[in-house]
Amino acid sequence: MAHYQHGELCRVRGDHAGAEAAYREALRHGRDPQPGLALVRLAQGRPGPALQAVRRALDEPHVRRVARTHLLAAGVECGLAAGDLEFARRCAEELAGFAADADSALLAAVAAGTRGILALAERRGGPAVTALREALTHWLALDAPYDAAGCRIRIAQAYRLLGDEESAELELEAARSALLPLCGPDEAQRLVAVQVPASARGGADGLTARELEVLRLVATGASNRGIAASLVLSEKTVARHVANIFAKIGVSSRAAATAYAHERRLA
């Protein structure tokens, strides 16, 4: 468990190599590295392996409720990123059942958060805000700043769906302030970068605000499917944005686009 928790700390700070090493050490000592390792894969833009790992872990016999809760929460994120909405819904429904049966602020926070994530995926801004606000209230009461910050980022996504850019920026600023002492400036910026409003970005070689969002995610190594999940878009739309970006900046590969983004401090 100590090695697994070390992996969690590395993952939160954006040290994926350190996290993976710690999770592997946890496995060597008999602790299943999921869902931590799956969430690393998700952050690396590899939703397929992430979803497969969570599915396998959930199918293991005799998984305790606390461990299953974490697996189910990861299952919602992995399912959405991999395009398996039905699996994500099943995970969210099971979590909701756990929360209804127990007087637990933690379970209530996780269950409300997954409802909000699903609503975002379905582009239902109003229900997403309602569920995520409920989750945020619980995370703040539990003194869980990292989870609260993640919740604020998703609330900002929901506000943007509703066209409320100013409220989105306020939530992002609160998230950024909370993340800085936990993750450091680089990881904090990575976590909120895709939500920075267009007015704060400026242009680059004619790229639109949305294209800049997509380029930043390409530069993190995210796949089109991962980008689609992060920005609540279809993969077809993301593919079109990527093609437009390549044409505008004069590159023909994701590696070249990544280099372009870093050279111009866009990522």
Q: Mean pLDDT across the chain, nearest whole number?
A: 88
Closest CA to 10 of 32, 33, 29: 33
For the residues 177-197, what does the mean pLDDT come to?
A: 72
> Higher pLDDT residue, 232 or 186?
232
- Domain membership of residue 226 (yes or no) is yes
- Domain membership of residue 239 (yes or no) is yes
- Domain membership of residue 23 (yes or no) is no
What is the structure's pLDDT at 196?
41
The pLDDT confidence band at residue 199, using thresholds 50, 70 and 90, is very low
- Domain membership of residue 171 (yes or no) is no
The pLDDT confidence band at residue 205, using thresholds 50, 70 and 90, is low
> Higher pLDDT residue, 191 or 194?
191
**Separation of alpha carbons 79 and 196, rounded Å:** 25
Residue 201 has pLDDT above 70, yes or no: no
Task: Give the pTM.
Answer: 0.69
- Domain membership of residue 135 (yes or no) is no
Range of the domain at 266: 201-267
- Domain membership of residue 253 (yes or no) is yes
Residue 34 has pLDDT above 90, yes or no: yes
The pLDDT confidence band at residue 206, using thresholds 50, 70 and 90, is low
Total count of domains within the chain: 1
The radius of gyration computed from the CA coordinates of the chain, to the nearest angstrom, equals 18
Residue 198 has pLDDT above 80, yes or no: no
For the residues 149-173, what does the mean pLDDT come to?
A: 90
Q: Which two tokens stand for residue 87?
A: 């699996």
What is the structure's pLDDT at 195?
44
- Domain membership of residue 184 (yes or no) is no
- Domain membership of residue 205 (yes or no) is yes
For the residues 107-121, what does the mean pLDDT come to?
A: 93
Say which CATH number the domain at 219 has: 1.10.10.10
> Higher pLDDT residue, 250 or 23?
23
Q: What is the pLDDT of residues 222-255, one digit of tens each?
A: 999 989 888 888 899 899 899 888 888 888 889 8
Residue 129 has pLDDT above 90, yes or no: yes
**Separation of alpha carbons 21 and 131, rounded Å:** 35
